[in-house]
Structure 1
């Protein structure tokens, strides 16, 4: 039996509040969602399907292929279940594997102990069946076994991803308090941007939002920037299938005539780093970078799209008194310069957001790290509402 062609439950995880955008991505790839939850979705498929998922998803963290569920009230129950898995048919005899876990069980006060029981069972199985054993360690550079254990429910997985997919791999210089790439993608997917009109990103920092916008607009997938996944270290891996999926990534890239993505920052260093990250992502020619105060950012009068800003919000960066003035200036800028656009402000400080002085049409919930955040959407009218009503014969 080859795990690469055998169908089983697949759990695709993501950071909290990204699940609706991950769910739509998975559906767009042709998969049927069997269950959606706060931090992911569940489907059925093969590890060959996991290859496609790993290479294509913007919002995911891990793609987990189930080896089976079981009841466990004690670490010995975990050990005994893992010991009876045919690891000699899954892992390379002289390979390398790691163990990760998500454990909430009263018998465990350190998840490393659960990891150790899983590792011991795999090693003991190899010694029993082969007389030798693979190497193990904490670096996620080889095969990865994942244990989920909550109360008495446990499930064992092959983590086909390894390092988190939420980091897309192009960002070499992260800058100060950078936005996670998967979060940046999700906020863009949550917006009303049509992927062809202007995308204006002041305070761009290391360029993550502008780069993700360019990638999404051109259908350039995260798999373009990575060449090692955990599925490559499972017995039966066929590199031809992987190369075929990689070829599809190149084939599905599209050109967007007239696309303008403008990214600015007052810091020369930030813009220099953002340019380097954009070069690594292959989208430097699609982004117009400039060093300036955000209020001096060009806002094209044609092909109006979205104004998207991620200002400091005082938790990790920024002086609150200065930030109150900054948020007020953002509101003034949107009112005076961004008519006809949709405005988006991503912030973790709703008190500061009140200084914008505009009523948000939508308040979309996100997290960054452990900070409760909102993506605030503003519909920015050209002229006043009264003028628009007159034009439409409503006043």
Structure 2
């Protein structure tokens, strides 16, 4: 099979975790870079990456690299590509673009010109041409422009890989599945000891922890990846790879996951999501305040959580007692536990009084966060 260069993207701060995943999956020549991990491989490797990588947001296949100092250079370079290998004239198309330190610095305009080049190359004599379609297009392209050097890539994933396919209940501002997986991996959890989420919400951390514990592929729940709409896609070969991933893994017999939420509706959402993923048997969900959980002495488990940040005006002040009391609970009742706590509010995080813990910068959507890591 033909070998390609791929780039698995991830959220800022997650690169080292994704690099470890790429290496563990046995993908060739991995290289950690800003914003993701480069690797080489075949289309089958690409399928495996989409199915198995927990912290990746997208897997891009490099198509062309070229100098694009101006509008015409960009358009002509895109027009020169034989797009018939990737899209039919009656197909649908979407283009994403990122621009930095370049003469062309308007990402929407750059995406438009890339679209123009593709459409003009494929336009038939009777006027048939690809249509622009944001949702579920046949082909999604990504153009990265840095210092006038363009990298044009095929988006093999389609929708972002955080959309696993198991979520039935959205919850209120749910944590992205890819970030939840990153938190569990960064915590150093041994996949056997109890793991507790005292602010479980719709259960994202618990589902991702169960998938990690069972060494189960997170992508097998999805209905479709981007590469499945490409001309010449080998559906039979992919079906075999998907079946192997779906049958892989084995849940530890004594796995104990626990989630608590003070809102009964949120707890019900967590239960629904666990059931949708076929993982309800791995976890206990209780309607309870975060300060009410009583860890048993000697458990030496893990607490992985994403407490509220107080994004709305006036909320931060109300959350100060929660953070202060939760920090006291950790120090007085959870000796020997390991902690991975995501906070988007440094002032509230200081109320935990955990000064010697590691702090790793992450991004939760548009919110700069720190992941607080350590042994209590």
Q: What TM-score bracket applies, with the shorter chain setting the length?
A: over 0.9
Aligned to 1:365: 361
Report the TM-score, using the length of structure 1 for normalisation.
0.89
Q: 1:141 to 1:299 in 2, by over 3 A?
A: farther
2: distance between equivalents of 1:42 and 1:110? Answer: 26
Q: Using the TM superposition, give the Cα deviation of residue 201 of structure 1 relative to its aligned residue in structure 2, in angstroms.
A: 0.7
CA–CA distance in 1 between the matches of 2:65 and 2:125?
A: 23
Aligned partner of 1:291 among 287, 290, 293: 287
The answer to whether 1:133 aligns with 2:129 is yes
- Match in the other structure for 1:387: none
Residue 254 of structure 2 is matched in structure 1 by 258
Distance in 2, matches of 1:51 and 1:343, equals 34
- Once the two structures are superposed, the pairs formed by residues 1-395 of structure 1 within 5 Å of their partners are 5-104=1-100, 107-108=103-104, 110-127=106-123, 132-301=128-297, 303-316=299-312, 319-380=315-376
Pick which of 357-366 and 63-72 moved more. Answer: 357-366
1:76-108 per-residue CA deviation (whole Å, 9 max, x = no partner) reads 111111111111122234332222221236554
Deviations 1:208-237 (A, max 9, x none): 111111111111222121021111111221
CA distance in 2, matches of 1:317, 1:212: 31
Residues in 2 aligned to 1:146 and 1:305: alpha-carbon distance in whole angstroms? 42
SS of structure 1 residue aligned to 2:142: strand
Instruction: Decide whether the 8 Å contact of 2:28 with 2:41 is kept in 1.
Output: no
In the TM superposition, residue 118 of structure 1 has moved relative to its aligned partner by: 1.7
The alpha-carbon distance between structure 1 residues 334 and 318, as it changes in their structure 2 partners (threshold 3 A), is: farther
Does 368-377 or 105-114 show the bigger shift? 105-114
Q: Over aligned residues, Cα RMSD in angstroms?
A: 2.1
Ranges of 4+ aligned residues in structure 1 off by more than 6 Å? none
Cα distance in 2 between the residues matched to 1:317 and 1:275: 31
Cα 1:332–1:109 change in 2 (3 A) is same
Conserved? CA contact 2:187–2:304, under 8 Å: no
Other structure's SS at 2:12 match: coil
Question: Is the contact made by 1:359 and 1:378 (CA closer than 8 Å) also made in structure 2?
Answer: no
Residues 88 and 129 in structure 1, CA contact (< 8 A), matched pair in contact too? no
Cα separation, 2, equivalents of 1:131 and 1:352: 59
Assess if the C-alpha contact under 8 Å between 1:198 and 1:305 holds in 2.
yes
Counterpart secondary structure, 1:356: coil
CA–CA distance in structure 2, aligned partners of residues 70 and 340 of structure 1: 54
TM-superposed deviation, 1:39: 0.8
Provide the C-alpha distance between the structure 2 equivalents of 1:61 and 1:162, rounded to a whole number of angstroms: 10
Q: Secondary structure at the match of 1:70?
A: strand
Cα 1:332–1:113, aligned 2, differ >3 Å: closer, same or farther?
same
